[in-house]
Amino acid sequence: MSTQNWKDRRAKIVERVGGEAAFAELVAEAAAEHDVGAKRLDEIRKAQKLTQVQLAEQIGVSQPAVSELETNAAKAGELYVSTLSRYLGAMEIDLELIGRYPDGSFVEIKLGDETAVA
């Protein structure tokens, strides 16, 4: 979607909801609903009571690879979406991405059903 298209669509939405203040309020409410708190990958794995070895076996990689994945993600390093999807899929967690526009509104990106094969 081009920037101009987004600006046009945003203007129509703002008009439909009753102005900038109402739009900002709706955006804030939506952001609050979707903000469940960021979790580190190792916290998610531990909450599932899985060791790195167990998770590695489920997604077909070595334990050091799981450790590196968790470390790189924690440091905001590069991470392939497909790798993250397999990691979470092993714990039956679907991956969804959220893109945020400069005004705080967002678009959800749902990925195909990709689960790890045990």
Question: Per-domain residue ranges for the chain?
Answer: 1-36, 38-118
Nearest-CA neighbor of 59 among 102, 92, 34? 92
CB 18 within 8 A of CB 26: no
Which residue type occupies 4? Answer: Q
Range from 3-12, 35-44, 47-56, 103-112 that averages highest in pLDDT: 47-56
Considering the entire predicted model, what is its pTM? Answer: 0.49
Q: Which residues, other chains included, contact 106 with Cβ-Cβ below 8 Å and sequence gap of 6+?
A: 30, 31, 34, 98, 99, 100
Q: What is the pLDDT of residues 40-78, one digit of tens each?
A: 788 888 888 999 999 999 888 899 988 888 887 656 556
Superfamily of domain 38-118: lambda repressor-like DNA-binding domains (1.10.260.40)
Among 11, 37, 18, which residue's Cα sits nearest to residue 105? 11
Q: What is the percentage of the chain residues whose pLDDT exceeds 70?
A: 73
> Which of 74, 56, 51 lies closest to 118, judged by CA?
56
**Segment among 15-19, 72-76, 103-107 with least mean pLDDT:** 72-76
User: What pLDDT is recorded for position 115?
Assistant: 37
